[in-house]
Structure 1
Amino acid sequence: MDVNSLTLLVDILDAGNLSEAARRLKMSRANVSYHLNQLERSVGLQLVRRTTRRVEPTEIGLQLYEHGRTIRNALLAARESVTTLGQSLQGRVRLSAPSGYGQLVMSDWLIAFKRLYPGIVLDVMFENRVEDLMRDEIDIAVRVMSEPPQNLVARDMGPVRYVACASAEFARTHGLPATLDDLPAAPLITAAVIGKQLRLAAYLRDERHEVLLEPTIISENFLFLRQAVLAGLGVGLVPDYVVQDDLKRGAVLSALDAWRLSIFGTHMYMLYMPNRHHTRAAATFIDFVLEQARGSGRGGAN
């Protein structure tokens, strides 16, 4: 067994299947499979269980994976220290952020970061999917959820507060919902999960209520939802950052302010794989964004 064999095992398990590992390593699938078989023969034990879609580590495979990851991270850190000696901070950070929060809140942070570190390449995707966050070699994902996955490192970026709101014109003409029971009858503007009944969780001190909703306008694009609210098309159920400027200038009015409302989750989290080697660029980016979140009044505990 050698270092290359151990790091190959790490690459295979990180990729999830042999075909993806081959793509990332720029090798043929047959070559990857051959080297994996050679490693298993040298150990004398099965290290991974193969299915048609995925590979899963056996108990001994998982132990070797942890050793291999530690060795690979140390090698990467040493290589980076040598190659960047005396240079300005360089590297690449691939970020996946929610469309609304990413564009309305994080965009200014990303621009400020890029000005500070012009040598770092920022590869940013605005999307809302929550499954398989670490696909496509994403370094960092930012997501709204109530409880983060146990298999990922989660850094709290602060609470997400939903508001029930409408344009001032809509409020004058139709009124605002005074109780939770008024919401199902209102023309609602919000995001929803395709194929699932939309459920609004509402908290008042120790009380928790749940309301089933049927929106008239549904979109994952929160900029569009904001436009629909401003156009007077109904009552929006959106995170406060979507309409905070409109609320301040009186163009949008809020309702049910005594309630804490939630649809997709109560907190924003920064997520990344445990034990994955973070380049200096990625580590600097993580610290910068968490500091910005704390400075905005949203950031939570680490």
Structure 2
Amino acid sequence: MNARTQYQIGAAELDVVLAMVRSGTLAAAGERLGVDASTVFRALQRIERGLGLALFERSRSGYLANELAQALAEQAEQVEAALEAARSAAQQRPDRVAGTVRITTTDTILHGLVAPALKPLRAAHPLLDYELHAGNELASLTRRDADIAVRATRRPPQHLVGRHVGPIRVALYAAKKSAIKRVDDLDPATPWIAPDDALPDHPSVVWRKRRFPKVQPAYRVSSIMTVMELVALGLGVGVLPLFLAAQRSDLRQLGEVLDECQTELWLLTHPESRHLRRVATVYGHLAETLSLD
């Protein structure tokens, strides 16, 4: 009991716990910390022995953090943010913004909105670097896997700081050279392109299954960008965001905007990250320049 009460967890131990909570495996935690998996394993053993309590539930799939580990990770994130802010303040000149900003979004929003918006920012702040994560899964801002998220959602997480960019409107499209000119031209033989497997709850998937319940997509793809490219090639019809399709001259809109498929675009960050100069600079720029019109 005396050993447990005398044990004092330090910054190095918090780093180990945070890496394990974020990654869930010894190997991935080691990559984050720059050490091998056996070193992480021994460090974790020392921490749990010193605390006299387990922090993770071991399984074949990895290490599942318990409530204590999650609580320690939250404290570690605060330490991490404070150190990052201190280093930034110490290293940067007052007139320069520098560092790496991690942005998570989907490939559709990245190519259609975020990347074009970042181009002028690069000229204004050449010392800024960007890590751009494009995927359907939302990288965790709470775990600091990303600094900024640009996401389509009707209900953004309450623990994040958010700015509503605007509504994402969609419509059904075909290739410009296609014989299909309007929705009435569709028949049971018309091939469809859809992201069923990757995005089973996507509004366009839900709408198609309700409006055309007998349709079986000829092509199931992993992203809306791929839907657009296949539609443009004339391989079938598909539902696309107006902001993305409007940039293409090889697509034709079939019918009116699908109001029931509308979702909202949000620019999000974590309350502890928004005050960092590099994050605030990029967040403010995106808030001013992102437009769905």
TM range (shorter): 0.7 to 0.9
Which runs of structure 2 are paired with 1:14-93 in the superposition (5 Å)?
14-86=22-94, 88-93=96-101
Give 1:122 shift: 2.0
1:187 deviates by 3.1
Aligned to 2:5: none
Question: In the alignment, what sits opposite 1:236?
Answer: 238
Q: What is the CA–CA distance in structure 2 between the aligned matches of 1:223 and 1:107, rounded to whole Å?
A: 14
Does the CA-based 8 Å contact 2:199-2:222 persist in structure 1? no
Of 175, 187, 192, the residue aligned with 2:191 is 187
The AA in structure 1 aligned to 2:243 is Y
Are the counterparts in 2 of residues 92 and 121 from structure 1 also a CA contact under 8 Å? yes
Deviation at 1:222, TM superposition (A): 5.3
1:111-132 deviations in Å (ceiling 9; x for gaps): 112112110112334x443276
Residue 219 of structure 1 contacts residue 225 of structure 1 at CA under 8 Å; is this kept in 2?
yes
Partner of 1:259: 258
Answering whether residue 287 of structure 2 is matched by residue 290 of structure 1, we say yes
State the alpha-carbon separation in 1 of the partners of residues 144 and 82 from structure 2.
23
For 1:17 and 1:153, the matched residues in 2 are separated by 30
Alignment pair present for 1:161 and 2:169: yes
Task: Give the equivalent residue in structure 1 for 2:205.
Answer: 200
Equivalent residue letter for 1:188: W
Identity %: 23
Match of 2:136 among 129, 133, 137: 129
Task: Report the Cα offset of residue 109 of structure 1.
Answer: 0.3
Instruction: Confirm or deny: 8 A CA contact 1:177 1:183 kept in the other structure.
Output: no
The number of residues matched between the two structures is 282
Distance 1:44 1:85, change over 3 A: farther
Distance in 1 between residues matched to 2:266 and 2:201, nearest whole Å: 24
Q: Secondary structure of the equivalent of 2:205?
A: strand
Moved more, 76-85 or 3-12: 3-12
Output the amino acid matched with 1:130: E
Question: What is the CA distance between 1:90 and its match in structure 2?
Answer: 0.8
AA partner of residue 46 (structure 1): A
Q: Deviations over 1:165-221 (max 9, x none)?
A: 335553xx4441149xx5755333444425969963349xxxx95543333455446
Distance, in Å, in 2 between the alignment partners of 1:222 and 1:86 is 42
Bigger drift between 233-242 and 148-157 goes to 148-157
Taking structure 2 as the reference length, the TM-score comes to: 0.75
Aligned-partner SS, 1:73: helix
Residues 89 and 120, structure 1, Cα contact 8 Å, conserved in 2: yes
| Cα distance in 2, alignment partners of residues 195 and 237 from structure 1 | 13
Please give the alpha-carbon distance, in whole angstroms, between the structure 2 residues aligned to 1:156 and 1:128: 20
Pick the structure with more strand per residue. Answer: 1
1:214 counterpart = 2:211: no
SS at match of 1:215: coil
Q: When the two structures are superposed, what TM-score results if normalisation uses the length of structure 1?
A: 0.73
Amino acid at match of 1:177: V
Write the letter of the residue equivalent to 1:236: G
**CA drift at 1:258:** 5.8
CA distance in 2, matches of 1:231, 1:144: 26
87 and 65 in structure 1: CA distance in 2 versus 1, 3 angstrom threshold:
same
How far, CA to CA, are the matches of 1:87 and 1:222 in structure 2? 40
The 8 Å contact of residues 106 and 151 in structure 2, kept in 1 or not, is answered as: yes
Which runs of 5 or more residues in structure 2 are unaligned?
1-7
Match 1:177 to one of 176, 183, 193? 183
* Cα 1:49/1:274, change in 2 over 3 Å: farther
